[in-house]
Structure 1
């Protein structure tokens, strides 16, 4: 094998390894950039006594200015009493107080913006007995 071919193979290895490492880091960063619920109170699909609030704990800190939490009844009417709150001491928890809920079906809609700006959202429902 000639010297130029060996040099070419070494060059490919020197370039390929850093590129692969960079790609792996970018994939890992994007996977951790979004926040998702780790606990919901009341839980999805549950039947509960009328709760005073809905509280969702996420797997990372939230951006308070852009994260929201809304609850509606079966007709789509909001049943929240004020805006959602993210406590500075628990930046991964968002909660919203509720009006006195009658028996029925309720839907929770959340928007979570991570501290790095990545947005996720979702819905779930629960029933009040």
Structure 2
């Protein structure tokens, strides 16, 4: 009986430790929850800005958005900015876009130092 209780306690501790470790791994990474223009969309008017909302607050000094055309030319007008009241939103102003395909590339650092990055495309008609 004592061995069974000891084994159950050890198993409980191991399961709890694994759950806490996996929660900690997921906690610090910031991933997009919404984008404007959205991924894969086709817009008919040139957007003035690109907005990306993340699921965690991000560090402004270590986060960026770039928008480039099909030839790799940057179409951003200045640096990306993190919204002061909503530190989960980052945006960048754009130069006027002509019809074509565009790539939005983002890199962010969450408050606890974890880095994430990604990209998506949209089309200007």
State how far apart, in whole Å, the 1-side matches of 2:110 and 2:83 are. 15
Distance of 1:53 and 1:81 partners within structure 2: 9
Q: How high is the TM-score relative to the length of structure 1? A: 0.89
Question: 1:107 Cα deviation (Å)?
Answer: 0.5
Matches within 5 A, 1:50-89: 50-89=46-85
Q: Which SS does the other structure have where 1:109 is aligned? A: strand
Query: Aligned-residue CA RMSD in angstroms?
Result: 1.2
Per the TM alignment, residue 13 of structure 1 is displaced from its structure 2 partner at its CA by 2.2
Q: Which residue pairs with 1:115 in the alignment?
A: 111
2:38 maps to which of 40, 43, 49: 43
For structure 2, the residue ranges without an aligned partner over 5 or more in a row are none
Runs of 4+ in 1 over 6 A off after TM superposition: none
CA displacement, residues 52-94 of structure 1 (integer Å, 9 cap, x when unaligned): 0101011111111111100001100101011000022110001
- Output the CA distance in 1 between the equivalents of 2:93 and 2:29: 25
How many residues are treated as equivalent by the alignment?
Answer: 124
Larger Rg: 1
- Which residue of the partner structure matches residue 8 of structure 1? 3
Q: What is the TM-score of this pair, normalised by structure 2?
A: 0.92
